[in-house]
Chain A
Amino acid sequence: MMLWNTTRKVVTWWVVTFVTGDDWTVAAAVGAGLLATWGLLRAGVPAWWLLPPVVLAATVSSLYRAVLRERG
């Protein structure tokens, strides 16, 4: 039980610290961007350009929501 609790705490810390942070939607957008890049590459499309705009759009959207939250 103690081992399970410790493992759960470590995994939660790791996921929150390295993956989701304060906004899980950015991590989800990055995941979707990677998946789409992989799909396009498999279809023979040189999709190196896809990830940067996806990352930028997710960041802009996250910052906008953060400002809205600050407004209350």
Chain B
Amino acid sequence: MNTTVLVSTFLAASIEVIEMVAIVVAVGATRQWRAALAGTLGGLVVLAVLIAALGTALQRVPLSPIRVVVGALLLTFGLQWVRKGVRSVSRDGWTTGIGEQQVEEDVGDGFDWTGFLLAFRGVSLEGLEVAVIVVAFGAADNAIAAAAIGAVASVLVVGALGAASYRLVARIPRRALQLFVGALLTTFGTFWANEGLGADWPGGDLALVWLGAFYVAAALALVRVVSYWRRGTPRRLRAEQPLTEGASR
């Protein structure tokens, strides 16, 4: 067993798996766990079929266009959640939605196809990247088995951490969670879309950290700004109302 390849693949795959698990946990916590897990399973099945069909030819799959499309879709969807989150938190405060209250009005008792597709895309794209890492690391040293074990170990370890974080995530008020998950999806979307276009982020994958911090800080600032705009409304109306009432009398 080639330990160097195993450890290298474990570390490289972990970066992709963290992104995958973050999306699944975020979608599950804010929308529906059933749909998020079904989307994960669907993504893994598609991935297994691709690996079985293409084998080492996976290295030739063009990832850039997939990154652009998936990234752009995550970006536009994440921004919808950021906007909804900012509007509701600025109106109702941070504590709205504690417990099982849903944040998305369109998530009923039925199956949540939106959550399914979000998880499916995240898992299939990141899973594909993990598969490419396995093939690249494994083929270079003729140690596909060691690389595959490293990747599977990474999925198991990071997946277990993600599952363990569920209770912690469940304690966050849903409206606040929607805002942060929106920022998270926006972060991944911006990162992947730009990467797919061929842009090199300063710091590589670490750019996800500062990009995420930038979007979270912007969302928090926007909550204050929108509250200010809202507070301006009644005051202005209050100021205008007596004049109007006086004029009508």
Contacts and interface: CB of A to CB of B under 8 A. Distances in A.
A67 B229 contact: yes
B229 A51 contact: no
B230 interface: yes
B82 A18 contact: no
A26 B77 contact: no
B197 interface: yes
Given A64-B229, A71-B233, A59 B222 contact: yes
B241 to A, nearest CB: 13
Contacts of A23: 83
B230 A67 contact: yes
Interface string A1-44: 00000000000000001111111001100110010011001000
Given A63-B83, A63-B86, A18 B73 contact: yes
Contacts, number: 86
A33 B57 CA distance: 33
Contacts of B62: none
A52 B100 CA distance: 33
Interface residues on B, range: 35 or more
A67 B226 contact: yes
B198 A59 contact: no
B68 interface: yes
B72 A59 contact: no
B72 A34 contact: yes
The A contact surface, by secondary structure, is: helix
Contacts of B114: 17-18
B79 A48 contact: no
Given A18-B76, A30-B76, A60-B222, A48 B201 contact: yes
Contact of A46 (B73, B77, B186, B199): B199
Nearest to A64: B229
Contact of A48 (B86, B194, B215): B194
Interface in B180-236: 186, 190, 193-194, 197-202, 207, 211, 214-215, 218, 222, 225-226, 229-230, 233
21 contacts: A18-B77, A18-B117, A19-B76, A21-B76, A23-B83, A27-B76, A30-B72, A31-B72, A34-B193, A34-B197, A37-B199, A41-B197, A41-B198, A41-B199, A46-B199, A51-B194, A52-B215, A60-B222, A66-B83, A67-B226, A71-B233
Interface of B: 68, 72-73, 75-77, 79-80, 82-83, 86-87, 114, 117, 186, 190, 193-194, 197-202, 207, 211, 214-215, 218, 222, 225-226, 229-230, 233
Interface of A: 17-23, 26-27, 30-31, 34, 37-38, 41, 46-48, 51-52, 55-56, 58-60, 62-64, 66-67, 70-71
